[in-house]
Amino acid sequence: MTTGLIPGEQPPDPRPTGALPHQRHEPDGPAAQHDENRSRSSVITARAAASFEPVGRSVASARSFVRDTLQGWGFADIVDDAVVLTSELVTNAVVHAGTSADVLCLRSDEGARIEVADRYPEREVPLQGTAVNMGSPDREGGRGLQLCAALAGRWGVEYTPTHKTVWFQLDLPARAVGTRAAGPALPSELLPLADGRVRVAVVQIDRTGHITAWNEDAEDLFGYPSEQVTGKPLTDFAAWPHTPGTSTGIAEALRLSRWEGSYGIRDADGRVVPVYASHLRVRDTGGEPSTVCLLVRDHERAVLQTPLRVPASDSTGSTEGQSTDPFEVFIGSPAPDDLDGLLQRTVERARDMLDGDSAFLLLATDDETELEVRASTGLPSARQRFARVPVEAGPGRYGSARMPAVHDDLAAVPGAVPLLNGTGMRSVVTVPLKVEGRLTGSLGVAAEAPARYSNEEALRLQFAADRIALAVESARLGELERLRRGSLSFLVEASDLLAGTLDRDQTLALMAQMTVPTLATWCAVYTIADQSSEPDLSYVLHEDEELIDGIKSLLSKVPPPDPVPTPGARVWSTPGENAHQAALRSSMRSLGLSSGTGSQVTPGIGPSLATASAVGGETVVLPLVARNRVIGMLTLGKPADEHFRQEILELAEDLSRRAALALDNARLYSERTAISQSLQRSLLPPELPSIEGVEVEVIYRAAGEGNEVGGDFYDVFPIRDGAYGFAIGDVCGTGPNAAAVTGLARHALRLLAREGLSGPAVLERLNSAILDEGARSRFLTLLYGEMRPQEDGSAELKVVCAGHPLPLRLRQDGTVEPAAEPQPLLGVIEDLELYEETVTLDPGDVLLCVTDGVTERREGTRMLGDDGLADVLTTCTGLTAGAVAARIMRAVERFASDAPSDDMAILAMRVPGLQQD
């Protein structure tokens, strides 16, 4: 992969030289010609290219390449669309077309152009402009091009004799970089209120997002000394909304030349302090960029907030053509281009217009049965954000959000406006936001004094709400579209990661890591072994690693959630309630020990309070259902005073379905692997017996991943006093079917040999047993023998070699010779005439027995063979049996670079020399 910067220069065409495009697929008409001219005139400032092999894993690699490239260029706004389109196009190339894929990313001032080329030019696509239907979205073919048409600003297809290239252009959205404005002189009584001395925290962030400066006001506001935070990422302290595909993230905000807005900073006590921030991007004399952040308490935002520029009225002699749009008059100009900014601006202007103490705006859910708090001012926003209230709540005419309502005194009608319970607000006016008669939201202004509002104020607020309702709905739909695209990209990558492992523990870790912090602040995974088992807490993760142990300890002490198979998220209040009770008990104990030193109080109260804050928000449980059975629960949690958005819960539900299937597949794989390994181990002989006067060593390798036993087998076992049987054989084929015959042969040999039968009689009866298996029978080569150590230090062997590679005898002088004659193999004919041969091993002699996986080891056209094995054995004079077997195996492994395709067994027996006795 190569990436290069080309400052101020148009790069050459990245496609092969001399290759003319056979077809271009683009929008027709003058607009298309204009877009094409604009695309050709854009200056390319950077490029990145990579090639991917025609294998399935290349799709994930291509997605990571495009994501890393665009994020490195600062193009976070278009990353999700680019990843989805690249995934589809590379899949078409490496999976459907079966060729390698070349991906090229080009950066310009307007955005990014991405090209995906494959080597299958015969794979044509229909021209746009004809009446050809590119197919259903449910079909595999054509879906990538449909996505290009839906998501890309411009796209096309080009053909050459050797390549087909599909390209798409994604343009960056326009962004406001900040404005300057001045407000009028105001009387002192109209100035914003501040609590005592206003402290402005000045924090400087370098280009990598790490803190380089932290002033005294920052220490006072957040409790951290400068040396404790310097050098750490701002993300360790900033409480930023983690919503995929929606709004601006902290990394993007720090890269903008100018940014203003609200977020939170976690102080030294673990609490989130709401702040209003003004970011300014600067560079030093050496050209190194950094960001200066000015932070104040959120309710003191007037110190930093840029005044809104309101168009002058006609009475001031405005020039012709000046905007008099009521929306611009109310919301100010320029209007925010994101939903959160628009809603926040709306509630602030509504509060100011009616001279209220607070204001709030709620958006309706899809079914219009609930309203979700999306913006507020003058209220505890951390607690209220994304909270939900029913549309019909409370008695009388004040309960319906579908009509304007004025409430003179909330104390007289408790619960009329649930959002304001416990806030100190007494009077309120609320109006609906409607688009084409459909309820889309509700806007309200409240005051601490009773009887502040009348029908006149309601009409004024309703007029303003009518002006902004369409803009709010349009921005909301845009946010949902961005969220949908981000969710699609998130689920694509999640599915790919979950499908890439069959390990249970790794699957649990992936589930948690994909959830935190993208969907939740912390999560816990419960697993259920079977229907009669209780849920077991298997994995806990929090975005702050220091809180994991506290949450795990808390959850282990409370009853697990009920394994209900009903789909969807359900609220689980037990963790938050128990955490608060534990914190209260800890605080009371610490107060009882107040006469002690501070070191006695801090350890007792700190962890409990931190845990209570971490799990004190909303907690939801999603069932993990696979194959019609609940196999666990995925628990997601927010810190104190935070709630989940419905879109996040829906995304989490989609993730839980994929995770449940992956977890169940991992469970089934583990169970079957355990069963397979247990059965295979039962086919292997127990430990080799210790034979006085004879060294015995065995090396066994089964072919295939996960196989411990194959078609080759060995055995050494006592027959009677002073006599031992040994065998090495090879069943036709490998894998489980061959292993079944292996078990039959090994157990039959032991049983027949201990009946006192001779070697030929043992093999003849084994041959009959194999033939009795019928269609399951397989022919078998077998070397069987009986060994009896002698008093003079030698060993007498009686062997039968039934179709097996001949055993080799190594004498002390280095001579190698066969120790038996070949005879018919087993499992082919019924009447066998086998005979027994006697071999005497003198002191220092070695008998080597192998299966054909050793002698038939290949490298291209070369084969080790019997002669090659004999040559290696001649170098083993004076070695122990174990050393001989190890040298043979090393020679076999070094003979070829590829993994062995056949089972291998090596049995070495040596009579120690007289000098070792």
Instruction: Give 107-135 as a 3 state SS string.
Output: EECCEEEEEEEECCCCCCCCCECECCCCC
Residue among 556, 563, 536 nearest 626 (CA)? 563
Q: Which amino acid is at 445?
A: V
Q: What's the alpha-carbon Rg for the chain, to the nearest Å?
A: 39
pLDDT of residue 354: 87
**DSSP structure string for 518-584:** TT-SEEEEEE-SSTTSPPEEEEEEESSGGGHHHHHHHHHHSPPPP----SS-EE--HHHHHHHHHHH
- Distance of alpha carbon 708 from its chain centroid, rounded? 33
- Distance of alpha carbon 174 from its chain centroid, rounded? 31
- The whole-angstrom separation of Cα 381 and Cα 262 is 10
- The whole-angstrom separation of Cα 683 and Cα 749 is 13
Q: Which residues contact 299 (CB under 8 A, 6 or more apart)?
A: 195, 274
833 and 793 Cβ atoms separated by less than 8 Å: no
Identify the burial level of 793 via C-beta atoms within 10 angstroms of its C-beta, where 0-12 means exposed, 13-18 middle and 19 or more buried. Answer: middle
Residue among 25, 27, 112, 22 nearest 67 (CA)? 112
Joined tokens for residue 274: 């709401």
pLDDT of residue 333: 57
Strands 904-910 and 201-206: unpaired
354 and 429 Cβ atoms separated by less than 8 Å: yes
Residue found under tokens 């070369």: 862
pLDDT per 10-residue tile (average), the chain, 917 residues: 38 39 40 43 81 84 86 81 87 82 90 89 51 45 70 86 88 60 62 78 92 94 93 87 53 77 85 87 85 89 67 40 54 68 86 86 78 82 60 45 82 80 86 86 90 86 87 84 79 83 87 87 89 86 86 86 84 81 68 46 50 78 89 88 79 89 87 74 78 91 66 87 90 70 84 89 90 76 92 91 93 91 89 90 93 87 89 92 93 84 88 63
CB neighbourhood size of 669 (10 A): 15
583 and 608 Cβ atoms separated by less than 8 Å: yes
Q: Which amino acid is at 124?
A: E
Residue among 644, 614, 615, 618 nearest 266 (CA)? 614
Strands 695-701 and 258-266: unpaired
pLDDT of residue 10: 41
Q: What is the 3-state secondary structure (H, E, C) of 837-881?
A: EEEEECCCCEEEEECHHHHCCEECCEECHHHHHHHHHHHHCCCCH
pLDDT of residue 688: 84
The CA dihedral of 285, 295, 472, 350, to the nearest 10 degrees, is: -130
pLDDT of residue 849: 95
DSSP state of 763: H
- The whole-angstrom separation of Cα 264 and Cα 246 is 18
- The whole-angstrom separation of Cα 706 and Cα 684 is 15
Strands 695-701 and 862-863: unpaired
pLDDT of residue 201: 94
- The whole-angstrom separation of Cα 739 and Cα 709 is 6
807 and 847 Cβ atoms separated by less than 8 Å: yes
Q: Which amino acid is at 854?
A: V
Dihedral sign of CA atoms 88, 94, 98, 101 in order:
positive
CB neighbourhood size of 3 (10 A): 15
Residue among 434, 445, 357, 436 nearest 405 (CA)? 445
- The whole-angstrom separation of Cα 360 and Cα 383 is 13
- The whole-angstrom separation of Cα 567 and Cα 657 is 9
786 and 759 Cβ atoms separated by less than 8 Å: yes
Give the pTM.
0.52
The CA dihedral of 817, 819, 821, 823, to the nearest 10 degrees, is: -130
Query: Cα–Cα distances in Å, from 395 out to 360, 389, 540?
Result: 21, 14, 44
Q: Which amino acid is at 573?
A: S
206 and 290 Cβ atoms separated by less than 8 Å: yes
pLDDT of residue 4: 36
Helix 865-873 to helix 881-895 angle (10° resolution) is 140
Query: Cα–Cα distances in Å, from 619 out to 521, 573, 643, 739?
Result: 10, 6, 8, 52
- The whole-angstrom separation of Cα 203 and Cα 219 is 10
